[in-house]
Amino acid sequence: MRLEAENLHVHFGHVHALRGASLSTDGREILALIGPNGAGKSTLLNSIGGLYKPSSGKVTLDGHDITGANPRAVVDAGVTLVPQGRRLFGSMSVRENLELGAFTNKSSADIAKRIGRLAELFPEIGARLDIRSSALSGGQQQIVALMRGLMSDPKILLLDEPSIGVAPMIVQRIGQEIRRLNRELGIGIILVEQNVPFALKLADRAAILTQGRVNYAGPPEPLNDHDLLTQYFFGGRPTHSAA
């Protein structure tokens, strides 16, 4: 499923957070979206996910216009957002948190079946479905947030900083799970990350957002050059220098 965000503008009062941001994915790849703090990465993801209404621009799925659709409609169309900061309900069990990710129109039998399937895919969490989610480690909670996103059987997952609050040793584990979702389940991924090396290693393609605009979209490898990356992050579009 092809997702295209075209020339999006989003305002929060006098803050002009997105200034003509464009991003697209074929829904088969892992696309890393990186950029400095406050660049608008979450705003772009949340706008695609229907949480914010762009003042102009367009979001389409396979050419079908979903700009300004409500979050439920976007989920129904196959795109699910896993927001920054996980947003689990700590006093609720893992199972109850997962139930919240299901379509509202699903029967409880269908929901239980889906949870059973995810419990097989993620056995470490599967063994902990009935404990409070606050009792899990940061890494385990992040997996639960991923699983909750998977409850709605998305074609494309939007992941906002899955490595945040996760012990460094566990970040690689989260990366493996994201790759598995993409390679084995065929789910397209847009991955927003502050952890740039982690994101570039995982990505098939990368995009850089600075000051509300995407100024690079292409292969991740060139961005391993620290100077080039810095120029994109802080200096606008680099002029092509002689190599």
| 55-58, long-range: CB < 8 A, 24+ apart | 55/9, 55/10, 55/11, 56/7, 56/8, 56/9, 57/5, 57/6, 57/7, 57/8, 57/9, 57/18, 57/20, 57/21, 57/22, 58/4, 58/5, 58/6, 58/7, 58/8
Part in contact with Mg ion (CB under 5 A); list of ranges 40-48, 74-82, 140-148, 200-208: 40-48
89 counts as binding ligand ATP under rule CB under 6 A:
no
Asked whether 9 and 19 are in contact (CB, 8 A), the reply is: yes
- Rounded to an integer, what distance in angstroms lies between the CA atom of residue 49 and that of residue 79? 7
Provide the minimum distance between the beta carbon of 163 and ligand ATP in the complex, in angstroms, as a whole number: 12
80 counts as binding Mg ion under rule CB under 5 A:
no
- Among ligand ATP, Mg ion, none, the one that 38 touches (CB under a kind-dependent 5 to 8 A) is ligand ATP
- The answer for 133, left when phi > 0, alpha when psi is -120 to 50, beta otherwise, is alpha
25 counts as binding Mg ion under rule CB under 5 A:
no
Part in contact with ligand ATP (CB under 6 A); list of ranges 12-20, 75-83, 113-121, 133-141: 12-20
Of 62, 52, 76, the C-alpha closest to 25 is: 62
234 counts as binding ligand ATP under rule CB under 6 A:
no
Q: How many residues bind ligand ATP (CB under 6 A)?
A: 13
Contacts of 4 (CB under 8 A, 6+ apart): 22, 23, 24, 58, 59, 60
- Among Mg ion, ligand ATP, none, the one that 167 touches (CB under a kind-dependent 5 to 8 A) is none
- Interface with ligand ATP (CB under 6 A), residue from 7, 60, 172, 194: 194
**Is 42 or 80 the residue whose CB approaches Mg ion more closely?**
42
3-state secondary structure of 31: strand
Part in contact with ligand ATP (CB under 6 A); list of ranges 24-32, 35-43, 55-63, 73-81: 35-43
**Is 98 or 141 the residue whose CB approaches Mg ion more closely?**
141
42 counts as binding Mg ion under rule CB under 5 A:
yes
- Site map 94..133 versus Mg ion, x via CB under 5 A: ----------------------------------------
